[in-house]
Amino acid sequence: MKPSEMRVAALIVAAGRGTRAGGAIPKQYQSLGGLPVLQRTLAAFAGHPRVSTVAVVLNPEDEELYAPLLPEGARVAVGGKTRDSSVANGVRALPAQTTHVLIHDGARPLVSANLITRVIEALQSGPAAAPALPVTDALWRAEGAQVLASHPRDGLWRAQTPQGFDLAAIRDAHAAHPGGAADDVEVARAAGLPVTLVPGEETNLKITHAEDFARAEMFLKGGQMSLDIRTGIGYDVHAFEPGDSVILCGVEIPFEKTLKGHSDADVGMHAITDAIYGAMAEGDIGRHFPPSDPKWKGAASHIFLRHAAELARSRGFAITNIDCTLICERPKIGPHAAAMQTALAEIMGMAADRVSVKATTSEQLGFTGREEGIAAMASATLVAQ
């Protein structure tokens, strides 16, 4: 499935009591680095560019604790008596358009954007994927305090979350499972679903005991979870010349004129491309595709935009938001805005609901008001993964 066709929801399971961690309140509401554990977990998914919905399974008795922590638009489901039933309740709370779900422990607050991305990308070619770390310590089987035997560790892995699934497949798997599974991968395997393993991260620890808070604090103080956010802006102008259509943000619109330029003169796509380059301090289109080079004569602008998006990914950034404003009297942009969003999202490999295309006029002032051409402004936000 193409990335633009995926609608990924994050389902955070956080209805447990967490008594082994101690404390007067459940562990997911205890402070970690000045913020509640659950707030950190929710923020990791709510801020990810490939996650369109966040749902959380909670205990109604904790409403005073969780109400201030929920991100805008988060969906809430009531926890069940077992983890299986909690997940089933959460799945039912997801929007109808959801295609995939990431099921994550609320007590894993240090999950990285990079790990979330790896799981989502693995779901493009299979029905299930989950992160894990190889077992490196020797394993013993014991009875009480007595070691009975050693156990080979070859092929053994430590399971983590988020565990990702095709939504319909895991829904059916849970419906057919008798219950009592340790996690959702066990449910998926019981239903015959192949599960792709992706590399986990040591920092993605699950807070279970009181001492785990100290380990998590150490990771935070070590700067391993620092957030690098970049913003860039772009601006472009193209004049009209005789023709029968214009190409704007990847969509061809019939019109009595066309836009003049060395390439296909897609003024909106050029502004967006420059915004992405700008966020990385990488100059503009002209640096990467010099107009003096004849091979770019008449080139399709999606070549430039795709290059900028791929360069961002290669530098470890996710494009989390694009906002483009087209400035012209005509043609009318509104009827084509949705198609433009879809086209741009496909080129950049991101969700369409993170791409904004809108238009304004200049009230018949200036060159755009005299219908001599079209201008475009754009901004791009990049977040290090």
What domains are there in the chain, each with its CATH number? 3-221 (3.90.550.10), 229-384 (3.30.1330.50)
Based on its alpha-carbon atoms, the radius of gyration of the chain, rounded to whole angstroms, reads 25
CA distances from 281 to 9, 132, 269, 321, 355 (A): 32, 35, 18, 17, 21
Per-residue pLDDT of 93-148, as tens digits, reads 999 999 999 999 999 999 999 999 999 999 999 999 999 999 999 999 999 889 98
pLDDT in the model for residue 223: 52
Q: What is the mean pLDDT of residues 250-259?
A: 95
| Ranges 10-19, 105-114, 125-134, 180-189: which has the least confidence | 10-19
Which tokens hold the place of 59? Answer: 């205990």
Alpha helices in the chain (DSSP H): 37-46, 63-66, 83-92, 113-122, 167-176, 184-190, 210-221, 267-279, 285-288, 302-314, 337-348, 366-369
Nearest one of 374, 271, 275 to 321, comparing CA atoms: 275
Banded model confidence at residue 54, pLDDT cuts 50, 70, 90: very high
Which tokens hold the place of 357? Answer: 């295309």
Nearest one of 13, 47, 45 to 206, comparing CA atoms: 13
Per-residue pLDDT of 66-92, as tens digits, reads 999 998 889 999 998 889 899 999 999
Pairing of strands 75-78, 229-242: unpaired
User: Quick one: how far is CA 155 from the chain centroid?
Assistant: 30
Per-residue pLDDT for 226 more than 80?
Answer: no
